[in-house]
Amino acid sequence: MVPGHELIGKVVEVGSKVTKVKVGDSVGVGCISDACLDCHACELGDEPYCYNGKSVHTYNDKKRYTHIGGNPNASTYGGYSGSNVIHEHFILKIPNSLPLDKAGPILCAGITMYDPLRNWGATKEGSKMTIGIIGVGGLGSMGIKLAKALGHKVIAISTSASKKEMALQRGADVFVVSTDPESMATAKGTCNLILNTVSAEHQVSTYLDLLHYNGTIV
């Protein structure tokens, strides 16, 4: 296993009904590792909204259902486990060409940023957008990389000018300092989509002037 909230490792044994993977495959499990799998939400693939109770987080959560092996009274330990038994529904097969230590962030920051990009049209073929990424930390860096790889113009937005070099290295086309009115004015009305990764308390209205007509901030 690769240490972290997610499970990343090699398949060492499979049940007789398993069809997705075989012994020796590299696999990962994201932040959710179990749910009832019987309710309408689970049938639609929306396990976080499981009708029969909370879905089970892969790290530091109670085993509420029966799809995780081991001591049912023990908490989940994510990638800090030596091994784990998981229902194949929650397993993602990882290509052998992708090192396991590189796959971990994709199952955390990667999906956190890719999902809103997909939901708001940035992954559609032929889509050309200007995408703002607020915050150049772990999530923001991943968002910059993904948005740029999808072919969009990327504006990195930070309260600190010291993040400029890193943002540009990650693929940002433009860097804006949100505490500098003149810097913010250069990107006014340009963003079709803004992904806000800042977890600390802050004023979201600071960034609304950056939105293009009918733009979206997430």
pLDDT in tens, 31-79: 899 999 999 999 999 999 999 988 999 999 999 998 888 888 999 998 8
Give me the phi and psi of 26, to 5 degrees please: -85, 130
Q: What is the pLDDT of residues 134-185, one digit of tens each?
A: 999 999 999 999 999 999 999 999 999 999 999 999 999 999 999 999 999 9
How many Å apart are CA 166 and CA 54, to the nearest integer? 38
Domain boundaries, given as residue ranges, for the chain: 7-98, 112-217
How many Å apart are CA 114 and CA 123, to the nearest integer? 9
Q: How many of the other CB atoms lie within 10 Å of CB of 111?
A: 16
Multiple choice CATH, 112-217, 3.50.50.60, 3.40.309.10, 3.40.50.720, 3.90.120.10: 3.40.50.720
Contact (CB, 8 A) for 92 and 28: yes
Multiple choice CATH, 7-98, 3.40.50.720, 1.20.272.10, 3.90.180.10, 3.30.559.10: 3.90.180.10
Retrieve residue 90's tokens: 């929650």
Residue 2 has pLDDT above 70, yes or no: no
